[in-house]
Structure 1
Amino acid sequence: MTTRRDAAASVTAVIPTTGRSELRRAVESVVLQTIPVTPLVILDVPSARADVERLLSGLTYDLVTTSGAIGGGAARNVGVLASRTRFVAFLDDDDEWLSNKIELQLAAMLPPGRMIVASRSWLVGRKRRLVPERLYDGSTAISSYLLDRSSLRLRKNFMQSSSLLLTKDLAEEIGWEVGLKRHQDWDFLIRAQAAGVNIVMLGTPLVLVHQSSEGSISRSTDWQSSESWLSSIDAGSAPSRRSRADFVASVILRGAVSNREWHQALRLTGEALRGPCHIAAIAPAIAAVRGAWR
Structure 2
Amino acid sequence: MDDTLVSIILPTYNRADYIRSALDSVFSQTFRNWELVIIDDGSTDDTVAVINDYDDSRIVYLYQENRGVSAARNHGIEKCRGQYIALLDSDDEWLPKKLEKQLRYMQENDFEICQTDEIWIRNGKRVNQPKKYSKPEGWFFESSLQMCLISPSCTIFTRKAWDVIGPFDVEMPSCEDYDMWLRACLAYPVGLLSERLTVKHGGRSDQLSNCVPCADLHRIRALVKILQCGKLDADQQAAAMSELGSKAKIYRQGCEKRGKKDEAERVWNLFCMMRDGKNISLNLLR
Tell me the secondary structure at the aligned position of residue 188 of structure 1.
helix
- Give the partner amino acid of 1:56: I
Number of aligned residue pairs: give it. Answer: 253
User: Matched residues in 2 for 1:254 and 1:55: separation?
Assistant: 45
User: Matched residues in 2 for 1:253 and 1:28: separation?
Assistant: 44
1:185 and 2:177 are equivalent in the alignment: yes
Per-residue CA deviations over 1:111-144 (Å, capped at 9, x if unaligned) read: 5856100122122114423547333133532xx3
Residues 103, 253 of structure 1: alpha-carbon distance in 2 compared, 3 angstrom cutoff: farther
Residue from 143, 146, 153 that aligns with 1:145:
143
Per-residue CA deviations over 1:210-257 (Å, capped at 9, x if unaligned) read: 11235212133324434333322235165445544554466x357536
1:87 and 2:72 are equivalent in the alignment: no
User: Matched residues in 2 for 1:257 and 1:125: separation?
Assistant: 31
1:202 and 2:193 are equivalent in the alignment: yes
1:105 and 2:98 are equivalent in the alignment: no
In structure 2, the partner of 1:116 is 113
User: Matched residues in 1 for 2:119 and 2:53: separation?
Assistant: 28
Tell me the secondary structure at the aligned position of residue 200 of structure 2.
strand
1:167 and 2:158 are equivalent in the alignment: yes
Tell me the secondary structure at the aligned position of residue 56 of structure 1.
helix
User: Matched residues in 1 for 2:36 and 2:130: separation?
Assistant: 26
Tell me the secondary structure at the aligned position of residue 179 of structure 1.
coil
Q: What is the TM-score with the length of structure 1 in the denominator? A: 0.72
1:173-252 superposed matches below 5 A: 173-175=164-166, 176-194=168-186, 196-219=187-210, 220-222=212-214, 223-234=216-227, 236=232, 239-240=239-240, 243-248=243-248, 252=251
Instruction: Return the offset for 1:43.
Output: 0.9
Contact 2:220 2:244 in 1 (8 A): no
Per-residue CA deviations over 1:65-105 (Å, capped at 9, x if unaligned) read: 34412321221122112222221100111111122111111
In structure 2, the partner of 1:286 is none
Contact 1:41 1:62 in 2 (8 A): yes
Q: What is the TM-score with the length of structure 2 in the denominator? A: 0.73
User: Matched residues in 2 for 1:254 and 1:218: separation?
Assistant: 20
Instruction: Return the offset for 1:14.
Output: 0.2
User: Matched residues in 2 for 1:218 and 1:254: separation?
Assistant: 20
User: Matched residues in 1 for 2:207 and 2:256: separation?
Assistant: 20
Could you say what the CA RMSD is over the residues aligned between the two structures, in angstroms? 3.3
User: Matched residues in 2 for 1:15 and 1:257: separation?
Assistant: 39
Q: Tell me, which stretches of 5 or more residues in structure 1 are unaligned?
A: 1-6, 150-156, 273-294
Residue from 29, 34, 43 that aligns with 1:33:
29
Q: Tell me, which stretches of 5 or more residues in structure 2 are unaligned?
A: 272-286
Quote the sequence identity (%): 23
